[in-house]
Structure 1
Amino acid sequence: MTAAATIKLATKGASDNWQSGNLLRFVNDDIEICVGSLENIDLRAIQQAGRKIEALGVETAQLQGDYWSENAQWAFAQGFTKVGKLENVLFCGAADMVNRLHQKQAVYAWARDLINQTPSQLVPVSLANQAADYLKTLAPDAIRIDTIIGEDLETQGWTGIYNVGKGSVNPPAMLTVDYNPSGDADTPVYAVLVGKGITFDSGGYSIKPSAGMFSMKCDMGGAATAAAALALAIQWGLNKRVKLILCCAENMVSDHAYKLGDILTYKNGTSVEIANTDAEGRLVLADGLIAASEDTPEMIIDAATLTGAAMLATGGEYNALFSMDKSLMANALVLADDVNDPAWPLPLESFHQGKCPSAFADTANSTTQKGGGGGGASNAAGFLARFVEPQGKGWLHIDLSACYHERSNSMWAAGATGSGIATITSLIL
């Protein structure tokens, strides 16, 4: 097959010669995708067609024709792109739409490449530095960076990040990026994005089996997603003050690692007994949420590859959304649908805060049951709710169950997807 191909949309006539499961047709040097109806294009079918065309050996896809909406082009790009081909789609249409799509593709490529890096390449401090450097290039005069590393985390009271990361030779880090385009230090913070940045998760002393550990380089997907969402929003004209907090650590086993039965006391006074060292993501996010709350923003959004329970619930097809703020949840679902970034709500009420009881502390970080017991994803969200405004106003938790695929399927190539970036970008814009 040619290294480059022109891709068009077409409807299926009775005498047409369609190939490959009735999705594709080859006309001279062009490939046409059957969409059934041009008025009601099936975006899922477009994405599947992108996977099929990439598998033919097409190196670069040039989209062409009058029927490519922004969402249809992006659906194709999601299916077509893969490791080594993260920016190989050329878009078509009005100049402003083409520019937006190319900017989006570049940001997603950065995030996906970051998530796909090996755990020896990407350690906590390098994750923080790469995110900071990338954002700084986009708005050098509007961004202030602060990074706390290693023992300084304990000194300054960031107990979750410090304890989760202290067992590794690679020190943990907490990155804060302050994007303030006004330049006025008194400008209120509109939103804070918090990302889980576990660069490798062995499970700690609650060690994972080999199969469960294989893809744990992706456990910093929340950090990449949150950073990329801010990057895309900046390029698309973000004019509000937004902060980014990345909670970066490597969860390892050593003679210095945190242990089952340890009790951590957070800055807000909450004490936490460790019931499972593999429920580490919520421990680092707790620090990020406390820091985010100090700015009393209108909105706090955290993103994390947090629970296997959310993946089981959504099948990895959707990100799971949690919020006690019903209007925020409703808005997030509308925006996710608008940008074809599939998301689904799962239960979260104030009573979920009590689902991980402890006889020795205010709460445990999980339960000793596999997967945290019934409703494990909601129970994890309930734990996080202890570290934000008591009624959860303005807080959205995104469990990134669609962030990464260990193997390719009909919709995605193997590796990071970038899922969740567009939803967060829309929310802060």
Structure 2
Amino acid sequence: MSDLIQIRLNSAAAEAKWGKNVVLTPDTAGYQLHVNTADLRAVQKAGRQLDALGIQQIQLAGEGWTVDSQWALYQGFCTAKKLGAIGWTGTAADQLQLQQLHSTFSWAKAIINQTPEDLSPVALAEHAAAFVQTVAPAGTVSTEIISGSALLEQGWVGIHAVGRGSERDPAMLVLDYNPAGKADAPVFAALVGKGITFDSGGYSIKASEGMVTMKCDMGGAATVTAALALAILQGLNKRVQLILCCAENLISGRAFKLGDILTYKNGVTVEIVNTDAEGRLVLADGLQKAAEAEPQLIIDAATLTGAAMNALGTEYNAVFALDKALAQRVLGYAEQVQEGAWQLPLEKWHQSQCPSAYADTANSRPVKGGGTGGASNAAGFLSRFVPHDGKGWVHLDLAAAFHNSANSFWAAGATGMGIRLVAHTLINE
């Protein structure tokens, strides 16, 4: 057995000498964990307690560990500085599943926690493409990165507008995972991710306390990339496209401005009333690109609105869909993989909730936070850019993807919440 500190389960309550409500007690090899492993929140909280002891590495040992309880302990124990510090236990199949989760989650967490100076939009696209290629069978992945002025030439006006204020080019990654290797194989699904590598808010500038963690605003791109990688590792045999919409939202003489009007490929005109509502502008391009392949399923994921966090906190991701049957299946998948998800309202009339006197729609409302119902209004904006009146499309507003500071369940930084849900949806739809 490893010389690392071992963590064993003990179904009995801790002895009275350790005090009330104690869940960790020392033994000769490390610590015993006195929790019901079916209570995954309690297990995750125990992981935070282990981290608070200053322990750098642990080895799980003994009987009673399940895949879910091991993963919950890891989610509590790991930090931005300590992503690979746990040894798994159980059957070979269990350990393989945990290794697959760890490899994909740790990639996503590391890149979300990366400094914005070290992660330009093009670099994000390149890192994502390289990561998927490391897990996919040889010859099954092709990639294209469209950047800079080429975006405008091809009509991707949203990504170009948001990113033009930066000296570093905006980019769209189009990755095609085609396990059959046939050019005429149908595209089953398209994943679209918001990849804002830093969000100053543009001319609608954020306050310092709102801007300091905005390296996380590419969390949607990281989530769908890691989800595709996880699904491939778990045996995905369907053709899937990955589309990342990458830009830095900065201020300069070239930056887009309030009052500008964008005309998208589908003819929709959008007045800019808030440059901090930039995520939906880049996703509009990604959703239209996704529709070109006529997939059965389109999933977009984005750290899109503060309104979703106000509604749900930071333990649930928000689910939006005009396709109500699909929404219910996705919520079911979330339960199966133990990820918090909650459906918020979206109807066709949400498309008209951001009116403009000068264009078909504004990109928000010209009030702080986009006004009431901001998350639903943002989803309504996106629904203008999906085919078939939203059938087969689901939007995830990732309220649970990042924690600005540590709490009793999570260390500060990226959580990876949403990865398992998207991967499970790809495999089971």
TM-score (norm 2): 0.97
Residue 27 of structure 1 deviates from its aligned partner by 2.0
State whether residues 367 and 373 of structure 1, in contact with CA within 8 Å, keep that contact through their aligned partners in structure 2: yes
Residue matched to 1:63: 60
Distance 1:347 1:328 in 2: 14
SS of the aligned residue for 1:391 comes to: helix
Q: Which runs of 5+ in 1 are unaligned?
A: none
Residue matched to 2:88: 91
Distance 1:9 1:244 in 2: 41
Residue matched to 2:300: 302
Distance 1:406 1:123 in 2: 21
1:138 aligned to 135, 139, 154, which one? 135
Residue matched to 1:267: 265
SS of the aligned residue for 1:120 comes to: helix
Residue matched to 1:116: 113
State whether residues 198 and 214 of structure 2, in contact with CA within 8 Å, keep that contact through their aligned partners in structure 1: yes
Identity over the aligned pairs, expressed in percent?
56
Residue matched to 1:374: 372
SS of the aligned residue for 1:193 comes to: strand
Residue 236 of structure 1 deviates from its aligned partner by 1.1
Structure 1 residues 122 and 389: CA distance shift in structure 2, 3 A: same
Using the TM superposition, name which of 52-61 and 242-251 deviates more.
52-61
Residue matched to 2:32: 32
Distance 2:19 2:66 in 1: 24
SS of the aligned residue for 1:178 comes to: strand
Distance 2:17 2:383 in 1: 56
State whether residues 6 and 30 of structure 2, in contact with CA within 8 Å, keep that contact through their aligned partners in structure 1: yes
State whether residues 81 and 413 of structure 1, in contact with CA within 8 Å, keep that contact through their aligned partners in structure 2: yes
Residue 84 of structure 1 deviates from its aligned partner by 2.2
1:181-224, CA deviations, whole angstroms, 9 ceiling, x for partnerless residues? 10001110010000000000000010111111000000000001
Residue matched to 2:382: 384
Using the TM superposition, name which of 7-16 and 334-343 deviates more.
7-16
SS of the aligned residue for 1:146 comes to: strand
State whether residues 189 and 296 of structure 1, in contact with CA within 8 Å, keep that contact through their aligned partners in structure 2: yes
Residue matched to 1:426: 424
Residue 326 of structure 1 deviates from its aligned partner by 1.3
1:294-324, CA deviations, whole angstroms, 9 ceiling, x for partnerless residues? 1111110001000001111111111111111
Residue 91 of structure 1 deviates from its aligned partner by 1.1
SS of the aligned residue for 1:154 comes to: helix
1:142-177, CA deviations, whole angstroms, 9 ceiling, x for partnerless residues? 000011010000000000000000110001000000
1:127 aligned to 124, 138, 158, which one? 124
Letter in 1 for 2:26: F
Distance 2:341 2:172 in 1: 28
Structure 1 residues 13 and 308: CA distance shift in structure 2, 3 A: closer
Structure 1 residues 14 and 372: CA distance shift in structure 2, 3 A: closer
State whether residues 404 and 412 of structure 2, in contact with CA within 8 Å, keep that contact through their aligned partners in structure 1: yes
Q: Are 2:282 and 1:287 aligned?
A: no
After the TM superposition, which residues 171-190 of structure 1 pair with which residues of structure 2 at under 5 Å, given as runs? Answer: 171-190=169-188
Residue 18 of structure 1 deviates from its aligned partner by 4.5
After the TM superposition, which residues 9-28 of structure 1 pair with which residues of structure 2 at under 5 Å, given as runs? Answer: 9-13=9-13, 15=15, 17-18=17-18, 21-28=21-28
SS of the aligned residue for 1:411 comes to: coil
State whether residues 14 and 34 of structure 2, in contact with CA within 8 Å, keep that contact through their aligned partners in structure 1: no
State whether residues 4 and 58 of structure 1, in contact with CA within 8 Å, keep that contact through their aligned partners in structure 2: no
TM-score (norm 1): 0.97
Letter in 1 for 2:45: Q
Residue 225 of structure 1 deviates from its aligned partner by 0.5
Residue matched to 1:48: 45
Structure 1 residues 64 and 389: CA distance shift in structure 2, 3 A: same
Structure 1 residues 21 and 15: CA distance shift in structure 2, 3 A: closer
CA RMSD of aligned residues (A): 1.5
Q: Which runs of 5+ in 2 are unaligned?
A: none
Distance 1:8 1:17 in 2: 19
1:117-149, CA deviations, whole angstroms, 9 ceiling, x for partnerless residues? 111000100000111111122223100001101
Query: How many aligned positions are there?
Result: 425
SS of the aligned residue for 1:356 comes to: coil
Residue 3 of structure 1 deviates from its aligned partner by 8.9
Residue matched to 2:214: 216
SS of the aligned residue for 1:226 comes to: helix
After the TM superposition, which residues 405-420 of structure 1 pair with which residues of structure 2 at under 5 Å, given as runs? Answer: 405-420=403-418
After the TM superposition, which residues 67-78 of structure 1 pair with which residues of structure 2 at under 5 Å, given as runs? Answer: 67-78=64-75
Distance 1:20 1:129 in 2: 51
Residue 30 of structure 1 deviates from its aligned partner by 2.8
State whether residues 303 and 397 of structure 1, in contact with CA within 8 Å, keep that contact through their aligned partners in structure 2: yes
1:322-364, CA deviations, whole angstroms, 9 ceiling, x for partnerless residues? 1111111111111111111111111111111110001111100
Distance 1:379 1:126 in 2: 31
Residue 14 of structure 1 deviates from its aligned partner by 7.7
Letter in 1 for 2:317: N
1:76-112, CA deviations, whole angstroms, 9 ceiling, x for partnerless residues? 1100111221111111111011011012111111110
SS of the aligned residue for 2:389 comes to: coil
Letter in 2 for 1:29: A
SS of the aligned residue for 1:381 comes to: helix
Q: Are 2:242 and 1:244 aligned?
A: yes
